[in-house]
Amino acid sequence: MSTGFSIAVPSKGRLRDEALARLEYAGYPVAPPKDARSYRTTVAGRPEIEVAFLSASEIARELGSGNIDLGITGEDLVREGLPDSHDRIDRLLGLGFGQADVVVAVPEPWFDVDTMADLGVVAADFRQRHGRRLRIATKYWRLTQQHFSQTHGIQLYRIIESLGATEGAPAAGQADVIVDITSTGSTLKANHLKILSDGVILRSEACLFAPKLESLSPARKAAISEMAGALEKNGKPR
């Protein structure tokens, strides 16, 4: 028997279904859990490969703490959920599903605002005009801050943490602009929001991630890269 390792897979929805389909297509069919309420199983006929069903954001956390060897989850959750994710996690492979962009969107009638630089100018005298800072509704505060403060040098804004229906925040008067995830842009459009021309913060998709660990045994490393290789060779099932 080859060396064992563990992989975490999203526990529900399309991400789960697509991830399981890709694993099966790559020659790693996941056995249904023995107990329907259980969140743990193995690859069929390969009891040494543990499979854990976790929520997509929990997978990001578990990758960060190094508790799992591999994880399939959205890149947005890893970049947002973990500080220094580029130093701590390897993105082994994009899996071609679960695509969505994290974007900066402003009200469509802001015809004078097309770029981050334009937004920076608006932010600069926002307090003078409105008695408060420009407000950004988002659940991605880490990515927002990196994009605004570090990439574009925009400092004068406030993040309003939003836990759902972020795209409705401007019309509700809760925020002026938003940073949110979008796959087709149709929800933004329906809410009269537009994406800035340099407002794509991250093009996210479901990816195979592994913690950067020095201490893995060579046998375990080989078993892990065998799975990654199989997933890479066997693309999207038709």
Partner 1 sequence: MNPLRSFSARADIETILAELGADRVDVPVLQPADPFLDTAGEELRRRIFLSESETGETLCLRPEFTIPVCLMHIGGGYGPRRYGYVGTVFRQRRAGSNEFLQAGIEDIGDGDRDDADARSVADALSVLQALGVKKHAAVTLGDQAVFNAVIGGLGLPKAWALRLAHAFGDHGKIKTALDALSVPAPVPELPADILEPAEARDRGALLNALRMRLRIAGLEESGGRDAEEIADRLMARFEAATVAPDESALAVLRAFLALRAPVAKAVGALSDFGAAHGLALGEVISAFAAREGAMQDAGVDMDAVTYDAAFGRPLDYYTALVYEITAPDGAILAGGGRYDRLLTMLGAEEPVPGVGFSVWLDRVAAARGQG
Binding site residues, partner 1, CB under 8 A: 107-112, 114, 117, 120-122, 124-125, 127, 129-130, 132-133, 141, 144-145, 148-149, 153, 155-159, 170-173, 176, 192
Beta carbon of residue 177, minimum distance to partner 1 (angstroms, whole number): 9
- Nearer Cβ to partner 1, position 38 or 155? 155
- Nearer Cβ to partner 1, position 153 or 235? 153
Q: Cβ-count burial of 107 within 10 angstroms (0-12 exposed, 13-18 middle, 19+ buried)?
A: middle
Beta carbon of residue 13, minimum distance to partner 1 (angstroms, whole number): 30
For strands 206-211 and 89-94, give the pairing.
Answer: antiparallel
Collapse the DSSP code of 200 into the 3-class scheme (helix H, G, I; strand E, B; otherwise coil) and give the result: strand
110: left (phi over 0), alpha (psi -120 to 50) or beta: beta
The two tokens of residue 110 are 């802001």
- Nearer Cβ to partner 1, position 99 or 145? 145
Beta carbon of residue 153, minimum distance to partner 1 (angstroms, whole number): 5
Would the CA dihedral through 198, 103, 89, 44 be positive or negative?
A: negative
80: left (phi over 0), alpha (psi -120 to 50) or beta: alpha
Beta carbon of residue 223, minimum distance to partner 1 (angstroms, whole number): 34
- Nearer Cβ to partner 1, position 46 or 79? 79
- Nearer Cβ to partner 1, position 132 or 203? 132
165: left (phi over 0), alpha (psi -120 to 50) or beta: left
Q: What is the dihedral of CA 110, 111, 117, 121, to 10 degrees?
A: -60
- Nearer Cβ to partner 1, position 98 or 170? 170
Beta carbon of residue 181, minimum distance to partner 1 (angstroms, whole number): 20
Beta carbon of residue 108, minimum distance to partner 1 (angstroms, whole number): 6
